[in-house]
Amino acid sequence: MPQSLLHHLLTRLGREGAMTVADFMGEALTHPAAGYYMHGDPFGAPGPVGGDFVTSPEISQMFGELIGIWCVDTWVRLGRPDPCLLVELGPGRGTLMADALRATRQVPGFHAALQVHLVEISPALRERQREALGAHDVTWLDNVGQIPEAPLLVIANEFFDALPVRQFEQTGSDGAGDWAERVVVLADTAKANVGKKDDGKLAFALAAPSPANRALIPAPLRGAAKGAVVEICPAALNIAAFLGHRLARQPGAALIIDYGPAESTPGPTLQALRRHRRHEVLDAPGTADLTAHVDFQSLAQRAVAAGCAAHGPVAPGAFLTALGIEVRAAQLAESAPAAATALTAARRRLTDPAEMGSLFKALALTPRELPPAAGFEPLSPALSSKSEGR
Ligand code: SAH
């Protein structure tokens, strides 16, 4: 129950005084009883019974199907490892995985080699995934650390932007000051009511600046101007390092699709979304989705430092086009002519940067000795000069 999450946070802050923004985000999204993802199904179009946001696999089956094709292509490039883990991080309703598996069922040997693993924290969404993947043998994991040691293909769509971020503010001029962590505290009006009421309020505050914080800030941002806020996502960096280590000693690849700039950029970007509308981050915690932009540069650097290669990030539109979304849309339209207009709209929505925004990106991680995965090859000089000319 959302009210009880606020009550829980007020009580916790009454005891502890302050919590990091990452702690707040973790509680709001994944508190076992009242976290946003734990009790419901947030996906869907706007409307009276609609959800809070729509993700690419929910826009069209083509998204998951083409990611399935990417997995097959990568599996073949890896020498058809058997067994091969197919791991999805944060699978939502299970739509992407269901579409990917359906699109690849006729590939000789692929399904026989696959062991599907889903890393999912929400019992409610695990249930949805079980329904979506009924016919398949699936193993659920609580976290990335539980992924067994084997060749692996990892997919993560809009998973990293749900991982908790810490926020730091530059306190001195000319990038010379110490960084202070932003924290969540009780708003003054709430202090008197601790533990008694659910109508108290939360507020942001700054902890004391500390020289130790500087090491956490991505190097290109350390000189940021006074007042700049930088977000770091320890969970995302740890997962990147984990994947980098794995891909340094096991055949495999990871495909990370999310929202964020290609290069580390100051924020803040933490935002709350409810019924497709912006919501105050600290209001009614547990009732709105919280996301922050993914720092693709730091993610790639951490994975590369751990031993793998990183490719991209590229625009998912270019990636889906390279994988043949136009051909797939035409095939589907041929077998269901009544859906042709909807298919064209869905294809445009998934591939046109004007629709998804320029922050939508795909990053691939592979073993160092492997050439870039499909959709991540550098354009040939002829093609890139052509696209520049348009
Ligand atoms: N990939 C899906 C859903 C994205 S929403 C899609 O594209 O539609 C984020 C997903 O990550 C949800 O399934 C949520 O329950 C899961 N999730 C969020 N935080 C998590 C965590 N810390 N560990 C595991 N799963 C998490």
From 27, 37, 41, give the residue whose CB has the most ligand 1 atoms within 8 Å, as the site to mutate: 37
pLDDT digits (tens, 9 = 90+) for 240-284: 999 999 999 999 999 999 999 999 999 999 999 988 888 899 999
pLDDT at residue 197 is higher than 90: no
Is-contact 239 201, C-beta < 8 A?
Answer: no
pLDDT at residue 367 is higher than 50: yes
Q: What is the DSSP string of 297-335?
A: HHHHHHHHHTT-EEEEEE-HHHHHHHTTHHHHHHHHHHH
- For residue 53, the model assigns a pLDDT of 80
Query: Bridge-partner residues for 19, per DSSP?
Result: 184
pLDDT digits (tens, 9 = 90+) for 340-358: 999 999 999 999 988 887 8
- For residue 387, the model assigns a pLDDT of 41
Longest dimension (CA), the chain: 69
Give the pLDDT band of residue 199 (cuts 50, 70, 90).
low
Q: Decide whether any atom of ligand 1 lies within 6 Å of the 57 Cβ.
A: yes
Report CA(162)–ligand 1 centroid distance (Å): 7
Query: Bridge-partner residues for 229, per DSSP?
Result: 169, 267
- 67/97 Cα distance (integer angstroms): 9
Q: Decide whether any atom of ligand 1 lies within 6 Å of the 55 Cβ.
A: yes
- For residue 382, the model assigns a pLDDT of 56
pLDDT at residue 386 is higher than 50: no
Mean pLDDT computed over every residue of the chain: 91
Give the pLDDT band of residue 390 (cuts 50, 70, 90).
very low
Percent of the chain residues past pLDDT 70, beyond the cut: 92
- 332/347 Cα distance (integer angstroms): 11
DSSP 51: -
- For residue 2, the model assigns a pLDDT of 44
- For residue 174, the model assigns a pLDDT of 72
**Rg of the chain on CA atoms, in Å:** 22
Report CA(362)–ligand 1 centroid distance (Å): 17
From 159, 165, 273, give the residue whose CB has the most ligand 1 atoms within 8 Å, as the site to mutate: 159
Is-contact 350 62, C-beta < 8 A?
Answer: yes
Distances from the Cα of 85 to the Cαs of 90, 258, 281, 356, in angstroms?
16, 22, 37, 30
